[in-house]
Amino acid sequence: MDYSDADLPVEINEADVVTLADGTTVRYEENGGARDVMIGGDWSPRCTLYPGNTYDLDAGGKAYVLSATDSALKVAAA
């Protein structure tokens, strides 16, 4: 499923994509209980998050917080 900045905060599953206000995309792949988070068109993870971990992302001058849950990745404006 595809989400936009207007949908935030949102919890995404592995096949989902969030397109932020500046066009940056956020998605993840499951990796042994962790979330390998890909930003933009990258195929290498920008970060790997375990449940309870967060990552601060700046995209187009706007701040976002990515948080791993037990079953998803939460994307929210900071």
pLDDT means over runs of 10, the chain (78 residues): 98 97 98 96 95 97 98 98
- What does the alpha-carbon distance between residue 65 and residue 76 come to, in Å, rounded to a whole number? 5
Say what the pTM is. 0.94
pLDDT, position 75: 99
